[in-house]
């Protein structure tokens, strides 16, 4: 893979992430000033997510410029397999934490079952984490 092409892609990622972050921040600020009821903190939080993605891409760019041989780690099959295995173990750990939080919420506050938004969110997130790998595997096999 050409290092120049990857550097260009990372720069575009940084630019797009910063533009999205700025647009969300400006939208939140306009809503906050004009007292529109939609002015909750979710737009501010979304702008922080996209700015952190830009920061991560910037750090990747610095790493590539410092040592262009780091590109081997992205294309070497053994290293990619190792990374995929680590990602799989992290997903299993997160699924366990989600399951424990769902059970904890269910048993600690039983009167909120089926009525509380938090209970439905924890159930939905748990089910999504369980079924998403199967759906992605099926989608990638069909392509």
For residues 50 and 17, what is the distance between their CA atoms, to the nearest angstrom? 5
The separation between CA 24 and the C-alpha centre of its own chain, rounded to angstroms, equals: 17
Read off the pLDDT of residues 59-95 as tens digits, 9 standing for 90 and up. 888 888 887 776 666 667 888 888 889 989 999 999 9
Q: What six digits make up the tokens of 30?
A: 């306009």
Helix (H) or strand (E) holding 37: none
What pLDDT, in 10s, does the model give residues 101-135? Answer: 888 888 888 888 888 888 888 888 989 988 988 88
Torsion of CA 118, 124, 130, 131, to 10 degrees: -170
Cα 124 from chain centre: 17
Report pLDDT for 33. Answer: 86
H runs (alpha helix) in 34-76: 42-66, 72-75
List the Cα angle 80/61/13 in 5-degree steps.
90
pLDDT at site 26 = 92
Q: Is the pTM here over 0.75, yes or no? A: no
- 79 close to 73: Cβ distance less than 8 angstroms: yes
What are the boundaries of each domain within the chain? Answer: 1-75, 77-142
| Contact (CB, 8 A) for 39 and 28 | yes
Q: What is the pLDDT of residue 115?
A: 86
């Amino acid at each position: 893979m050409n290092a120049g092409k990857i550097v260009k892609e990372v720069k575009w990622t940084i630019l797009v992430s910063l533009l999205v972050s700025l647009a969300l921040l400006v939208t939140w600020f306009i809503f906050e000033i004009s007292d529109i009821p939609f002015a909750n903190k979710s737009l501010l939080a979304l702008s922080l997510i996209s700015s952190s993605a830009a920061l991560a891409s910037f750090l990747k760019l610095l790493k590539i410029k410092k040592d262009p041989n780091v590109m081997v780690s992205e294309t070497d099959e053994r290293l990619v397999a190792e990374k995929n295995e680590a990602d799989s173990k992290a997903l299993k750990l997160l699924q366990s934490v989600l399951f424990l939080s769902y059970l904890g919420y269910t048993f600690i506050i039983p009167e909120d079952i089926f009525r509380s938004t938090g209970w439905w969110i924890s159930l939905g997130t748990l089910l999504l984490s369980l079924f998403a790998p199967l759906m992605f595997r099926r989608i990638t096999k069909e392509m």
